[in-house]
Amino acid sequence: MGDKDLLLSESLDSIESASTKKNVGIKSQIPKVPWYLDGGFVIFWASLFLTVVVPLFYRLPEANTLEDVGKGVFIAERAQENLYDFAKIGTKVVGSDGNENKTVQFILKELALIKENVLEDYFEMEIDHQLAYGSYVRGGAQYQYQAVQNIVVKITPKGSTSQNYLLVNSHFDSKPTSPSVGDAGHMIVTMMEVIRIITTSTEKLTHSIIFLFNGSEENSLQASDGFLTSHKWAPNCKVVINLDAAGSGCRELLFQTGPNNTWLVKYYKESAKHPFATTMAEEIFQTGIVPSDTDFAIFTDYGDIVGYDIGLVCNGFVYHTKYDQYDIIPRASIQNTGDNLLALAKALANAPELADTTETGKAVFFDFLGLFLVSYSAENGKTLNYAVAGVAIILVYVSLLRIADVSNVTPAQVQGWFVLILVLQVIAFVLGLALPIVVAYVFDKYGLSLTYFSTPALSIGLYVCPSLVGLALPSYIYLRLQKNEKITYAHQLQMALHGHAIVLSILGIAINYYGLRSTYIITWTLVFYVIPMALNLLSTLQDRGYSWTGILKLTQVVPFLYNSYLFYTFIVILTPMMGRFGQTTNPDLIISALAALGTILSMGFLILLINVSRRSGYILFALLAASAATIYIASSTDIGFPYRPKTNVERVYYLHVRRTFYEYDGTISKDESGYLFNFQDRRGSAPLLEAKVDLTGMVSMASDCTKYMMCGVPYPDSRYVKNRLNGTWLPREIPIEPATDEPLVLLNKTVLEDGKTVRFEFEIRFTDHSTLYIEPYVDATITKWSLLESYLSTTPPYYMFFTYGVDGSPLTVTIEIQKSNGDFNVPVCEIGVGRQFMHSSGDITAQEFAKTFPDSAVLIEWPADYHRYIF
């Protein structure tokens, strides 16, 4: 090679022309990018995330004020005033004065004021106050309710003959200790304001709208079942907009639609002013891993209703705690919800599809940075997924042929080299996913889970940086060590990116075949690699050294913005939920996997471009250093402690329980008091022990669960039941004062004419939250009872959760038990009655015990009793 050629080979320009030459030294092919631009490349994308993605995620519209009244727009200021009054009521537990009287009267009063201003030439407004009674079986238990309250409003357009109604639902009751301002007072006042706007508008609607203010959602969705099964307007409801919350403030997410009604997404797309929705949220929620449920399940599972499930998802740290307060909800957040609900309700109230909602088929839908919504049918999505993956594979093959042609080597040689690079990209993908998970596993092993809980930025060093290292390291090592001088370094780097594209294509094909609509994420990531690949092939930029990287970087802005936005959304939503995910699951595995997938899809192509520089190793070293520093900070300083007072609290659920066991002859074999703990997160009792809370003598409930029916304690809800083997019992020396009455009275015991069946008749005095357990002995069978007959088909022990709102009259239960030998002078069954006293703060001993907990713990506790009988 002559001096002129040697000189040219040392410059970037010569590298671009050297792609058509052979035997060019590999080191001379790497452009000499200045060192300060190496880190600048990564900093640019990080800055793009911080200056575009994060602000758009939290962006809220300007709130309308009372000055805008009369313009037909949602008035957030007026709704916020209602929310202030709602918050002043305090907790709204079913059966409490706050829920059954104060909140009901507040809503009825506001609705009466709205009714006074209805434009009667255009609308008729009816208000119905329902007391609902009923029962149903769900999740292995029977739920029975008595006089829970619903306030139902019907808005009928004048002259309308449609018998198809739109239903808008939310709940006003709360969990114990919570004033329920976000969950779901925010939605209640939004519904009231939407009623105000619609009924004072001259805009014509086709269908009636039902607004259901339901008073018992937190008790396993009972009031919605009461509406569905017994309200006069329920049979006409065809579509529901269900409004709920798993947090407070920010935007509301559409996380479920249908089922099987693609036209619903079309209306949301056309109507929602501030779209926030994704198919991925729907598929994650429907796996059941999210520790929440909504009324949407009742309407769609038990009724012939389709619709939308929409909820607030930010700041879930305060969800179901005393910190769910008025002052943390910005007015603009109410405006966001109101704008969307008003527009969607009006559009659906004119939708001809309400006359026939039987359309089948699912949809793929997602918003882009909250700016607009993309949607198409799942069938079209499946075709698109296969097509894009196929085109990507074909274009990679064409590109390899072009590389062989311009490099004067055989296609077989290039393909052989590419196979090696492809293997390295598979390893890179695995490392990009596995390294963050390994960090999560190790932290959990040493009792350090949830270190990111109060400092989410730690997730960057713990999970994002290791993922980037894993993605880049195999290619970096290969490109620095390989001795292939037959093709240019630029082409080898290009093949590394092609390898990543093939990995995504194969993964997309596999997931698509499995049937996940969330495959769209991979598909659209590939689209923005296919586009520059096609352009570079058509323009021959692929053959000009590094010229092809310009178009690639430009087009990668779109998938980077979307993928980082999407996975940031899920990390924001799910991080607070990790604090109530239970002790049996390592939550760090979930967060690390999400962070890793987001990193792979956002930066998978981009991180490989650091190899354009001679000093790309500096970037890898910096990422490793950042990860190491974060690991140290998270594991060895207070920054990594998960909990903070008021903002990022540890949830501590426990009951002050007195349990009494009666034997067959009426004698008492056990009478003890203690605290029944149901720890909500992975760390369990460890943070409390570190804070010097006296838990001396606390034992696992596992042994009691083997000895006694349902462990011999009064579970208040299904979450306690599911977690019962991980429950713990802390005995206390001072007995809890028992209630003045026993809960169960045997009224009659009668042996029937067949001589093999006995009938028991009981009167049970429940509190407004109670549990009934029934288990026949092995030689006895329950053949009939006054509870739900369908529930008898399940496996004992049977358990029922009972709730009442304003009617606390005793429940009469009859049970018929059959024995083949007809001997009923011996025990035939056990019955347990658990009663919750949620409106009591407990005795002095319990109050003093509660004061010993740290400020970073939020206590959700109340007295309860349990009586076990043998008959």
Convert the pLDDT of each residue in 666-689 to its tens digit. Answer: 999 999 999 999 999 999 999 999
Radius of gyration from C-alpha coordinates of the chain:
32
Place of tokens 């909500």: 680
Find, among 802, 797, 776, the residue nearest to 705 by Cα.
797
For residues 397, 398, 400, 406, the Cα torsion angle rounded to the nearest 10 degrees is 170
Question: What confidence score (pLDDT) does residue 643 get?
Answer: 97
Placement of tokens 């909250």 in the chain: 370
Assign 376 to helix, strand or coil.
Answer: strand
| CATH number of the 67-361 domain | 3.40.630.10
Check: CB of residue 588 under 8 Å from CB of residue 440. yes
Peptide bond into 797 cis (omega under 30): yes
Distance CA 494, CA 399 (A): 9
Average pLDDT over residues 145-167: 97
Ranges 4-13, 203-212, 231-240, 692-701: which has the least confidence: 4-13
Inform me whether the pLDDT recorded for 424 exceeds 90.
yes
pLDDT confidence band for 38 (50 / 70 / 90): low
> What is the rounded distance in angstroms from the CA atom of residue 629 to the CA atom of residue 462?
9
Amino acid 790: pLDDT: 94
CA distances from 217 to 71, 148, 234, 799 (A): 34, 10, 17, 20
Please determine, for residue 308, whether its predicted confidence score (pLDDT) is greater than 90. yes
Give the model's confidence band at 482: pLDDT under 50 very low, under 70 low, under 90 confident, else very high. Answer: confident
Q: Please check the confidence at residue 25 and state whether its pLDDT lies above 70.
A: no
Total residue length of the chain? 871
What was the pLDDT predicted at 613?
84
What is the tens place of the pLDDT at every residue in 520-536?
999 999 999 999 999 99
Model pLDDT for residues 775-818, shown as the tens digit of each residue: 999 999 999 999 999 999 999 999 999 999 999 999 999 999 99
Over range 105-130, report the average pLDDT: 97
Partners of residue 306 on adjacent β-strands: 239
CB 714 within 8 A of CB 864: yes
**Quick one: average pLDDT of 837-862?**
96
Contact 291, 580 (CB under 8 A): yes
Alpha helices in 460-615 (DSSP H): 465-481, 489-514, 520-539, 548-555, 557-577, 587-603
What's the rounded mean pLDDT across residues 690-716? 97
Phi, psi of 30, deg, nearest 5: -85, 120
Q: What is the pLDDT of residues 380-398, one digit of tens each?
A: 999 999 999 999 999 999 9
| 626, 463 contact by CB (below 8 A) | no
Mean pLDDT of all residues in 597-624: 93
Taking each helix axis from N to C terminus, what angle separates 331-348 and 186-199, rounded to the nearest 10 degrees?
A: 50
- Above pLDDT 70, what percent of the chain? 96
3-state per-residue secondary structure call for 591-638 = HHHHHHHHHHHHHCCCHHHHHHCCCHHHHHHHHHHHHHHHHHHHHHCH
Which two three-digit tokens encode residue 646? 């008021």
> What is the signed CA dihedral for 342, 371, 604, 538, rounded to 10 degrees?
130
CA distances from 619 to 36, 227, 623 (A): 11, 60, 6
pLDDT for residue 32: 61
Closest CA to 215 of 83, 105, 341: 105
The residues, ordered by sequence, that sit 6+ positions from 300 with a Cβ below 8 Å of its Cβ are 240, 258, 259, 306, 307
Nearest-angstrom CA–CA distance, 43 and 480: 24
Within 10 A of 677 (CB to CB), how many other CB atoms are there?
Answer: 22
What CA–CA distance (Å, rounded) separates 281 from 385?
Answer: 19
| 484 — pLDDT class (breaks 50, 70, 90) | confident
Q: Which of 333, 85, 129, 351 is nearest to 227 (CA)?
A: 129
Check: CB of residue 499 under 8 Å from CB of residue 401.
Answer: no
CA dihedral 535, 538, 539, 543 (to 10 degrees): 100
pLDDT band, very low/low/confident/very high, at 743 (cuts 50, 70, 90)? very high
Predicted pLDDT of residue 41: 83
- Report the candidate in 185, 195, 211, 233 with the shortest Cα–Cα distance to residue 82: 185
Considering the chain, tell me which residue range(s) the CATH 3.40.630.10 domain(s) occupy.
67-361
Place of tokens 């977690």: 723
Summarize pLDDT for 509-566 with one digit per residue, the tens: 999 999 999 999 999 999 999 999 999 999 999 998 899 999 999 999 999 999 999 9
Q: What is the DSSP string of 316-369?
A: GGGTTSTT--GGGS-HHHHHHHHHHHHHHHHHHTT-GGGG-------EEEEEET
CA 775, distance to chain mean position in Å, is 35
Q: Which residues pair with 166 in a beta bridge?
A: 209, 239
At residue 1 the predicted structure's pLDDT band, cuts being 50, 70 and 90, is: very low
Predicted pLDDT at 116: 97
pLDDT of residue 740: 82
What's the pLDDT score for residue 92? Answer: 98
Cα–Cα distance list, 691 to 11, 687, 853, 857 (Å): 64, 6, 7, 10
Task: Measure the CA–CA gap between 796 and 148, rounded to whole angstroms.
Answer: 28
For residue 14, the model assigns a pLDDT of 38
Q: What is the pLDDT of residue 485?
A: 84
Our measurement of the distance from residue 403's CA atom to the centroid of its chain's CA atoms, rounded to an integer in Å, reads 47
- Please, which pLDDT band fits residue 290 given cuts at 50, 70 and 90? confident
Q: How do beta strands 798-804 and 372-377 pair?
A: unpaired
Taking all residues of the chain, what is their mean pLDDT, rounded to a whole number?
A: 94
Task: Please give the angle made by the CA atoms of 456, 459 and 463, to the nearest 5 degrees.
Answer: 170
Q: Is the confidence at residue 30, as pLDDT, over 80?
A: no
List phi, psi (to 5°) of 565. Answer: -65, -45
* pLDDT score for 18: 37
Given a contact cutoff of 8 angstroms between Cβ atoms, the answer to whether 309 and 242 are in contact is yes
Specify the pLDDT at position 31: 63
Q: What is the pLDDT of residue 340?
A: 98
| Per-residue pLDDT, 615 | 82
Name residue 557's amino acid.
Answer: V
Assess contact for 577 and 450: CB atoms under 8 A. no
Q: Is 11 or 111 the better-scoring residue by pLDDT?
A: 111
| Model confidence at 33: pLDDT above 70 | no
Q: Report the C-alpha gap between 274 and 282 in whole angstroms.
A: 18
